[in-house]
Amino acid sequence: MRRKEPARWLRGGARSFPLMAILLLAGCSGDGAQQASSAPPPAPEVGVYTIEAQAVTLTTELPGRTAAFRVAEVRPQVSGIVQKRLFTEGSEVKQGQQLYQIDPAPYQAALARAEANLKSAENLGKRYQRLIKTNAISRQQYDDAMAAWAAARAEVEAARINMRYTKVLAPISGRIGRSYVSEGALVTGGQPQELATVTQLDPIYVDITQPVTKLLQLQRALEAGLIEQSGEQAVPVTLTLEDGSRYPQAGALKFSEVMVDAGTGSVTLRAEFPNPDGKLLPGMFVRATVQEGVQPEAKLVPQQAVSRGPDGSANVLVVTAANTVEARRVQTLGTVGNAWLVGDGIEPGERVITEGLHRVRPGIQVNPVPAGNVELKTDFGVAAK
């Protein structure tokens, strides 16, 4: 009896099973990949900086020009020929130092004549003093003699003064400029043209111009208690020279002008600086940093956290308590070093994003970590917006 063969699909089953298993496994792995691709991506990591309230000294940088502490124009007080010039142009002179010698000969003669007249008037006065006791002369004669004696004394004193004025002395200590006359020149007492100019450079003034609107803002902030005065002592001032270098000596604000310039709408502040080496010369352009006061609860935001909108508004991205991103508009009051001094829009304790800004948008979940790109420096001064 012929044996019945198994079905064809059974005959090939042993060889077909591995292929079917592979297809089955491939189908299962395809479903797993699809499920994995549909899973949400991990929250992006961002660097954040926590806002803290801190005391900050507010300063403002203003333009100014140096001005001499004292300037004295040397003029002759008597007329005559200049015999000598007794100083070197551009050198330091002391108060009372002789600068010029005017020919004293005519004034010596005038003094001798005045002294002779005084001797005659004195003798007559003394004689009349004895005679008036015996009524040998009238009272009128005695009074005239006494008056002539007093006038002669005054003439002698005037002649001596003129003799002293032939020596032209330095009225103040300082640096003397060029001489406008030389030996042999004829000068006149009280002439409009000065002989030379002496300038005192140590200390030296710096005249600073400040817009009156800035002054009013400062007054309102002081009245509202937003900032506090830095003390009862003189307000410190520092200088930046025209080449960008810092002047090593610190100065102090002395006074503020009582009138507003009608053309510029600004007031003038005057500061005084020591100038022992004479580095500051009158007329130099400088930038002065003036200390305005102290803000005890200042909020500083790193500059890299602030972006500007099309309308110029300042915006930051804040990480909320739920670790979601929130866009916030803030009020910038000025810069303090490498940070923004902000007013409304953010509070102490809130976290602003400074790293990974390009990877986030408002509303998404983030993984905040302490920022590594923030190192606040507040010693650069405050600049206006």
Q: Crossing angle of helices 139-165/105-133, nearest 10°?
A: 160
Does the structure show a pLDDT above 90 at 304? no
Query: Cα–chain-centroid distance for residue 357?
Result: 36
Class of domain 45-58+296-383: mainly beta
Confidence of residue 234 (pLDDT cuts 50, 70, 90): low
For residue 63, the cross-strand partners are 287
Give me the pLDDT at residue 231, please. Answer: 52
Sequence spans of domains, the chain: 45-58+296-383, 60-68+200-295, 76-103+167-193, 104-165
- Cα–Cα distance measured from residue 306 to residue 313, given in angstroms and rounded to the nearest whole number: 10
Q: Please check whether residue 273 is in contact with residue 203, taking contact to mean a CB–CB distance below 8 angstroms.
A: yes
- Cα–Cα distance measured from residue 325 to residue 334, given in angstroms and rounded to the nearest whole number: 25
Mean per-residue pLDDT of the chain = 83
Percent of the chain with pLDDT over 90: 43
- The full length of the chain comes to 385
pLDDT tens digits, 313-337: 899 999 999 989 999 999 888 778 7
Q: Which of 171-185, 222-236, 263-277, 340-354 has the lowest mean pLDDT?
A: 222-236
Which has the closest alpha carbon to 203: 285, 279, 282, 273?
Answer: 273
- Cα–Cα distance measured from residue 349 to residue 299, given in angstroms and rounded to the nearest whole number: 10
* The CATH number of domain 104-165, selected from 3.40.50.720, 1.10.287.470, 3.20.20.150, 3.40.50.920: 1.10.287.470
CB atoms within 10 A of CB 34: 9
∠ CA(196), CA(206), CA(92), 5° rounding?
Answer: 35
| 101: helix, strand or coil | strand
Give me the pLDDT at residue 101, please. Answer: 96
pTM over 0.75: no
45-58+296-383 and 76-103+167-193 share one CATH topology?
no
| 368: helix, strand or coil | strand
Higher pLDDT, 268 or 87: 87
Which tokens go with 69? 């502490």
Q: Extract the runs of DSSP E, i.e. beta strands, from 235-370.
A: 236-240, 251-256, 266-273, 285-302, 307-308, 314-319, 325-330, 332-336, 339-342, 351-355, 367-370
The CATH topology of domain 60-68+200-295 is: Elongation Factor Tu (Ef-tu); domain 3 (2.40.30)
Does the structure show a pLDDT above 90 at 28? no
Q: If you average pLDDT over residues 351-365, what whole number do you get?
A: 88
Q: Is the domain covering 76-103+167-193 a CATH 3.30.479.30 domain?
A: no
- Cα–Cα distance measured from residue 18 to residue 53, given in angstroms and rounded to the nearest whole number: 71
- Tell me the C-alpha to C-alpha distance, in Å, between residue 348 and each of 16, 58, 267, 333, 343: 72, 19, 36, 16, 11
- Cα–Cα distance measured from residue 207 to residue 280, given in angstroms and rounded to the nearest whole number: 13
Most confident of 23-37, 67-81, 359-373: 67-81
pLDDT tens digits, 48-67: 999 888 888 777 788 899 99
